[in-house]
Amino acid sequence: MARLKLGILISGRGSNLQALIDACAAPEFPAEIAIVVSNRPEAGGLDRARQAGIEGVVIDHREFGDRATFERELIAALDQRGVELVCLAGFMRLLTPTFVDRWRDRLINIHPSLLPAFRGLHSDERAIDSGVRFSGCTVHFVRPEMDDGPIVIQAAVPVLPGDDADALSARILEAEHRIYPAAVRLIAEGRARIVDERVVIEGEHAPVGTAFNPPA
């Protein structure tokens, strides 16, 4: 079976990109990375792509007069490589509705909170400040509103006594590295479908048990 062609958009260190690179290295994984695009030339993720022998391209938003021209360049780069699913992995530019609609249901994002809680930046800090006992991460299809759209997978991660934003972020990041490849697999296998703006997963198993924090 042909593997689904991914285009990964990054702006920074690219640890989620690495998780996807590692997953795609397994011959039975149903997707492959056709291109990595960074809007920042200094993004560490570009080295990860290079080391894996994957094409990494810089499309620097500062070189374009407006968002529309920048996004046209992005779309051209993705189209030229036959990309079928675009994965945002720490991509720090807001995308216009034109871009999002162009890739409707073929564009996913990972966010470090249990959406719809804590959309936007500094979600770890805000989770700690709010006193929630669980935060986590979410892979979702992208809609024009920021950090909005049908949810594919979430992981719940406990907030522990004494956590600062870095400690919580590191714990959440480990879960991100598991759920992003898992979400891509579900989509690539055609097992995650959007019905009435919710994701229906074919052959889904119920998760085991309920998590309590503190244990009850």
* Residue 149 is a binding residue for ligand GRF (CB under 6 A): no
Closer to ligand GRF by Cβ: residue 49 or 214 = 49
Has 111 been annotated as catalytic? yes
Our finding on whether 90 is near ligand GRF (CB under 6 A) is yes
Please report how close the Cβ of residue 88 comes to ligand GRF at its closest, in angstroms. Answer: 7
SS3 category, 154: strand
Of the listed 111, 122, 177, 205, which one is catalytic?
A: 111
Looking from the CA of 125 toward its CB, the CA atoms found within 13 Å total: 3
Query: Does residue number 144 form part of the binding site for ligand GRF (CB under 6 A)?
Result: no
Q: Which residues, listed in sequence order, are joined to residue 194 by a DSSP beta bridge?
A: 199
Stretch near ligand GRF under the rule CB under 6 A, chosen from 13-21, 114-122, 148-156, 191-199: 13-21
Cα dist from 215 to 85, 134, 164, 211, whole Å: 39, 12, 21, 8
Cα distance between residue 27 and residue 173, in whole Å = 25
Indicate the SS3 state at residue 121: coil
Run of H or E residues at 26: none
Residue in this structure with the two tokens 């097992």, named with its chain if needed: 191
Sort 52 into a burial class: Cβ within 10 Å, 0-12 / 13-18 / 19+.
middle
- The answer to whether 147 contacts ligand GRF (rule: CB under 6 A) is no
Based on the shown chain and the rule CB under 6 A, indicate whether residue 56 belongs to the binding site for ligand GRF. no
In the list 9, 15, 20, 179, the residue contacting ligand GRF (rule: CB under 6 A) is 15
Q: Which is nearer to ligand GRF, 86 or 110 (CB)?
A: 110
136 touching ligand GRF, by CB under 6 A: no
Residues that are catalytic? 111
What does the binding site for ligand GRF look like in residue numbers (CB under 6 A)? 12-17, 89-90, 110-112, 173, 176
